[in-house]
Amino acid sequence: MDLVERFLKYVSFDTQSSEDAGVTPSTPGQMTFARYLKEELEGLGLEDVTLDDNGYLFATLPANTDRPVPTIGFIAHMDTSPDMSGCNVRPRIVQQYDGGDIVLCADEQIVLSPARFPELLAHRGEDLIVTDGHTLLGADDKAGIAEIVSAVVWLQQHPEVEHGRVRIGFNPDEEIGLGAHKFDVEKFGCQWAYTMDGGEVGELEFENFNAASARLTFKGRNVHPGYAKDKMVNSMLVAARFISMLPAWETPEHTEGYEGFFHLTGMQGEVEQTTLNYIIRDHDRARFDARKQLMQRLACALNTEYGEGTVTLELHDQYYNMRRQIEPVMHVVDIAREAMLAAGVEPRVRAIRGGTDGAQLSFKGLPCPNIFAGGLNFHGRYEFVPVQSMEKARDVVVKIIELTARR
């Protein structure tokens, strides 16, 4: 089975995660996929293949040298985003893409167009795997899984390439922020690892957002509107006041690069009670803390104006910028950069405007930068992955393993 066949098989599994399940893995399809992968890895002759009750699958490619070589790992997640269905994915390959529109579904006029997605033009002449417009594709992160497994197969077929012990980890529920929560770093047993969960070719990331969630509850007082003067408190209007007090331009649609934001992700309300859900993001820890403090001050100000208990704020930190954990061991990034160059890939080191399992794993003692898997337009019907990008990602994995042994 080659890389493309492997990937097409993987996307046939429905592995959407769910934020409301309260169990790990959050959906049964993830465990079904994990069992399939377990059988595949066992069939390839890997050692120490284990699958626990929470859907964490580990395996080992044994070293083929007696020299002391660090044990390194490669990690990818099995779930796909809850944002769009991953059931009955029907991929197809657009051979030698010509730079024009790609009709995903003619009947519903669903078109993947460079006019809307100009990144397509960077892949003219390549073979693009696309959807039929009714589901996501699942390259996030089944491309990463296929690349890791294919790299292992390549190394097995080329025993002349010296390498150390390599650990493989496939985990559930990354898309709902829980992929690393039950990841047993001690059992995984690596000195460092890489998540294969990035996008465009060349991406190499060791910085990510500091992240928190915020839930605000606004209490109102409902009175007949005809007799409401000086009595009614409309919780929806108080919530609107809060929204207006935050910096208007510090939202996702107005920020880029290292700029942080407040993102209103949900709202529900009536006169008596309204709730707002936010996520807070910033690469800089001091600015991140200042954003949380601003929310607290605004809540206090509204409580002073409308009465204590009008606004309740719940803040929860989610993950932190892994840069602090990676900087003392920058050789793990240097090896990845060197591997990309050796594989004919120009490294594109940048900060993630998001997070990966690697961020949380880094704070659990496993330094874990993130490397491209090749897919684009994740989490929706316009997702695609160039075959050539997947091949380059596989080659980078091989080169990292090879260079680690040489060092």
First to last CA, the chain: 32
Residue 171 structure tokens: 């985990």
Please choose, from the candidates 226, 223, 304, 218, the residue with its C-alpha nearest in 3D space to the C-alpha of residue 269.
Answer: 218
* CB-neighbour burial class of residue 342 (10 A; exposed 0-12, middle 13-18, buried 19+): middle
Residue 174 structure tokens: 């990354």
**Encoded amino acid at 305, one letter:** E
> How many angstroms separate the CA atoms of 76 and 150, rounded?
13
The sheet with strand 166-171 has its strands ordered as 47-51, 57-61, 166-171, 72-77, 192-198, 370-372, 203-205, 348-349
Of 79, 147, 173, 357, the catalytic one is 79
Of 14, 127, 140, 174, the catalytic one is 174
- Is 175 a catalytic site residue? no
> How many angstroms separate the CA atoms of 300 and 37, rounded?
51
Please choose, from the candidates 80, 69, 279, 262, the residue with its C-alpha nearest in 3D space to the C-alpha of residue 165.
Answer: 69
> CA distances (Å), 27 to each of 12, 37, 79, 173, in order?
15, 16, 9, 9
> How many angstroms separate the CA atoms of 206 and 238, rounded?
40
- Is 160 a catalytic site residue? no
Catalytic residues: 79, 174
